[in-house]
Amino acid sequence: MAFDEMMDADGRPRQPYVDYHDWYAQQDPALLAAKSKEAEHIFRKTGITFNVYGHSESAEKLIPFDIVPRIISGKEWRRLAQGIEQRVVALNAFLYDIYHKQEIIRAGRIPRQLISNNAAFLPEMIGVRPPGGVYTHIVGTDIVRTGENQFYVLEDNARTPSGVSYMLENRETMLQMFPELFHRNKVQRVEDYPSLLRQSLQSLAPPGCDGTPRVAILTPGIYNSAYYEHSFLADMMGVELVEGSDLRVIDGKVKMRTTRGYQAIDVLYRRVDDDYLDPLTFNPESALGVPGIMDVYRAGNITIANAPGTGISDDKAIYSYMPEIVEFYTGRKALLENVPTWRCSEEESLAYVLEHLAELVVKEVHGSGGYGMLVGPAASKAELEAFEAKLRARPDNYIAQPTLALSTVPVLVENGIAPRHVDLRPYVLVGDKVKIIPGGLTRVALKEGSLVVNSSQGGGTKDTWVLED
């Protein structure tokens, strides 16, 4: 039985939801249905869409939005925030170590081949110290809940975490439609995220920067699935949105083409994958990056956020070692637990996974977005057999986890509200200090009984309220 975040076992509202529950009981269902349609109209008018690769019938889709907020108490949030900060500090220490002395490997806490054979490990970053020593400037930590005091980290998104534009637009829409609810509930702000992001990035400008650091966002272009978010953040931050063709290396600096000639960029928030960042260093076929940018970066003349090579820290094989990583670098046990994980590269684990395939969730080590994943309990016999063949052919490409009973929160359906499974992606900014935005993106599996919350797989989103005490 899944933990219901709104109602307890006796049918009473849990403390964070008391005010909302009282308000909801007084509402006309027809009015709420109309509000839901109004929210959809707002999102369509604003153009909040995402691309689904491989869906030719509708390349751009509207992400479904549910108007019932997910509500978290201040006490619950503080516990989460402490665990998230500990984890992000450990991730940065881990990245510094593996690109320098590799003490965690020498100590025998993780196997050497996990790093040396990993496609996400960039030898080009060995010995490079990013400005401020920060590798992961923006992190999205995916968290699931299974009980009142049971939270687990599902994965760490330390490359180019997406979705923050939906967090901001969800809040804006709710403020517009239900201002009275915000008067009744003391909800902590998320609207400051763009200004906090800019401040955080500027705080880590390279040492030679004169005056106010110039920040820009590097996008792969309009055909990228998250292009809406790239342009949204550039607009909200008041910075330039650039493509690789807008930039070139001049006099040892990365400069941006403007109407007043080329001007230097100090901090580049890149939404381009490592392999496409510099055709002179990585993929020579890339037209998305900037030729020579890695030379400028290694010389300490530009900050790239997130740093190249951070992808190894959110690799799902590395994830399984996160309890050891956190303890190694912080000296304390992890405050937030991992989901139990079987590494299919290990013979005993593979045997267990193959025997219990119908009960487990199996994921690609480098996968994301819900693609290439098997949810055993929901899979057909043919799907299980096909996945068994994949596992036997490339066991090191997969990890497996138990099927967790994710917590549920209410969503608006035709005849009122009904529970649906959710996860949470809080956003963390790492600059001169760590800032965790009080809320994040709640993703919801809109299909009854489904555990897959990804928008690319039919999931939706909600506004996440963290209450003040």
Q: Does pLDDT of 319 surpass 70?
A: yes
Return the C-alpha torsion angle 90, 92, 97, 99, nearest 10.
150
pLDDT grade for 406, boundaries at 50, 70 and 90: very high
**DSSP SS3 for 332:** coil
What is the rounded CA–CA span in Å between residue 244 and residue 248? 8
What is the rounded CA–CA span in Å between residue 312 and residue 122? 9
**DSSP SS3 for 259:** coil
pLDDT grade for 56, boundaries at 50, 70 and 90: very low
- Could you read off the pLDDT of 112-133 as tens digits, one per residue? 999 998 889 999 999 999 999 9
* Residue-range domain boundaries for the chain: 15-206+302-337+405-466, 207-301, 340-402
What is the rounded CA–CA span in Å between residue 295 and residue 278? 9
What is the rounded CA–CA span in Å between residue 38 and residue 48? 14
Residue 99: is it exposed, middle or buried by C-beta count within 10 angstroms (0-12/13-18/19+)?
buried
* 372, 120 contact by CB (below 8 A): no
The structure tokens 């978010």 sit at 229
Four-way CATH pick for 207-301: 3.40.190.10, 3.30.2130.10, 3.40.50.11290, 3.30.300.30: 3.40.50.11290
What is the rounded CA–CA span in Å between residue 139 and residue 377? 31
Greater model confidence, 407 or 364? 407
CA 202 from centre of chain? 22
Q: Which fold has domain 340-402?
A: Dna Ligase; domain 1 (3.30.1490)
Supply angle C-alpha 126, 127, 133, rounded to 5.
110
What is the rounded CA–CA span in Å between residue 76 and residue 96? 31
> What percentage of the chain reaches a pLDDT higher than 90?
81
Tokens of 216: 């820009």
- Could you read off the pLDDT of 238-294 as tens digits, one per residue? 999 999 999 999 999 999 999 999 999 999 999 999 999 999 999 999 999 999 999
Tokens of 115: 């790093």
**How many alpha carbons fall within 13 Å on the CB side of residue 20?**
26
Of the candidates 409, 407, 323, 410, the residue with the CA atom closest to the CA atom of residue 146: 407
Tokens of 170: 């969800």
Q: For residue 154, give every residue at least 6 positions away whose Cβ sits within 8 Å of its Cβ, in sequence order, or none.
A: 142, 143, 144, 339, 423
- Could you read off the pLDDT of 186-211 as tens digits, one per residue? 999 999 999 999 999 999 999 988 89
Q: Which long-range contacts (CB under 8 A, 24 or more apart) does 366-371 make?
A: 366/119, 366/120, 366/315, 366/316, 366/397, 367/316, 368/157, 369/454, 369/456, 369/457, 370/452, 370/454, 370/456, 370/457, 371/456
pTM of the model: 0.92
pLDDT grade for 53, boundaries at 50, 70 and 90: very low
